[in-house]
Amino acid sequence: MVADIDKEYTKKRGSVVSAPLLCQHCQIGPLTVYGPTVKQHPHFVTARRRSIRVFEPHDLVFKPGQVPDAIYIVYSGWAASFVSPRRGIRHILDFSLPSNVVNPITAMCGPQPLPYAVMALTSLVLCEFPLKAAAELLSGNETQREELARAYHKHISDFFLRLGETARLSAEARVARLTLSLSERVKRLGLLHDKSFDFPVRREDFADAMGITLIHLNRTLAALHAKGALKFEHRRMEIMDESLLREIAKD
């Protein structure tokens, strides 16, 4: 189910999703790819946002081959980008957290078919900016253009690093690297508390992100827990020993 928010609070399945209608009230905006612009001209950003969209867990935001006419920024919730190379097989390429663009390839290349699908993992609230408006946001001044280039470089670099990890690293090292990467991302959002953070994914999703079976994932998590490196239960990740986890990540 997908809905537009036309009020400050929208009730979805018994919960309340809150999204500020004005960008100057948003704490996520400064952390986004258009952060330099929203810090200086929040009304400029608000005027170019087309809508705020709400997705329920497991809703498809985009199908493979779809051609978006806008970019979507996560205001709240988690999403996953994935491919299905054959029936019954799925590989999660990346997780999108608050402040992330769920379709960065559209921001980079314009209205082209997406090579992957995007699915909501939790209740998901997205800010929608048509491509023409997004181009105005992302090229307004030199600081903004530098931030855009930095974000694109990081996205592409991280993607190729993950591809290499899947091919050559052990399952324990892959889980360690993903955990450390996510901990850095949630820390930036102020959501890391006592070395632990919400990781609202099913174990099946976790396994798909690691490129291993669910049974292999469960054994890997049990081994890392036994070593005192991390604990994952009730969709919450705890880093028990960061130094040890970093050693395991080196593999």
pLDDT digits (tens, 9 = 90+) for 75-123: 999 999 999 877 777 889 999 999 999 999 898 888 999 999 999 999 9
Residue of 6, 15, 237, 206 lying closest to 124 (CA atoms)? 15
Residue 20 gets the label, from left (phi > 0), alpha (psi -120 to 50) or beta, of beta
> For a pLDDT cut of 70, what percent of the chain falls above it?
90
CATH number of 2-147: 2.60.120.10
* Predicted model pTM: 0.86
Domains in the chain: boundaries: 2-147, 169-250
First to last CA, the chain: 42
Judge whether 30 and 75 are in contact, CB under 8 Å: no
- Quickly name the fold that domain 169-250 has: Arc Repressor Mutant, subunit A (1.10.10)
pLDDT-flagged residues of the chain (< 70): 1-21, 165-167
The total number of residues shown for the chain amounts to: 251
